[in-house]
Structure 1
């Protein structure tokens, strides 16, 4: 894993298998997200990763925090800031990005990402018009779940960093027609226009 310096201390991501082993202690649903999820879709490693993202539903965030008792856990309540997240504190709706490390003097090891939901429906936090059943949000492989590629690409569409472009180019050929149409419709809902749409089917 690559070591990266940030204003809040260095990142040295834990191996994915170690984070998965830790998260198995959480009774609530969770899934691997980010670039690792897309590599799991591809079935091969194709780029380096600076972090490990684990997603879960906001309604389960207190259970996740209790699992991490003894860890140093910080939440981004306001974008661009971090502050400690005590056990049993209910986070405000503005918080969706959580950084985790073993102790305050160590590097950050992985992130928790909070997803929105209503009953049994996943809600895209950047545009609540984009929704889908929770049962269609993840794929189970190797004994754990990861987010489906079309949803992960939607999250990556906002900034379009070089690594996001690599992910899109690598994973797009692996999407079936239904996945491509869903991604196209979701991109048009959120962005109206987007460069990736040139490679996706037209969806009225």
Structure 2
């Protein structure tokens, strides 16, 4: 395999993305960026799914919701959890509150996925197809966790670009290479914890 082919394989693997189909739910792992929830709201308004489930309390590394990372001028309330923040983004972008489910205890991605499954089960939702709105560079790892939690469902990834790292340019900067390297390492290590 030559260098270009290797780079293309890494890109295709890390930056998971699918052609979307209508689904039973849109899932959003916790974060402090509005882009994933904005994308989910757009998909909801287009009729891709009747429910959205944002998930998240806050990072265990910080111990509280550390604040909105982008567009804080628009999303400027006092949020206690990632879920509160993501819900506000969804509502401000045209999602009916009745369509938003609640998971506000997860503190890392694996908990986002596991707890989301608990919420859908408690609501007696049968999830055969789901759309996962997540950060582009975090797409493969998010997908791994959500597939583990929803093994019977087909999950379609609809990623958002957050920051400047894209599938087209990640290999051109140290930050991009470091981000992809970190994801590869986390995927390999965390996969071993799931089996």
Normalised by the size of structure 2, how large is the TM-score? 0.31
Task: Identify, as 1 or 2, the structure richer in helix.
Answer: 2
TM-score, L = length of structure 1: 0.30
Q: Which has the higher strand share?
A: 1
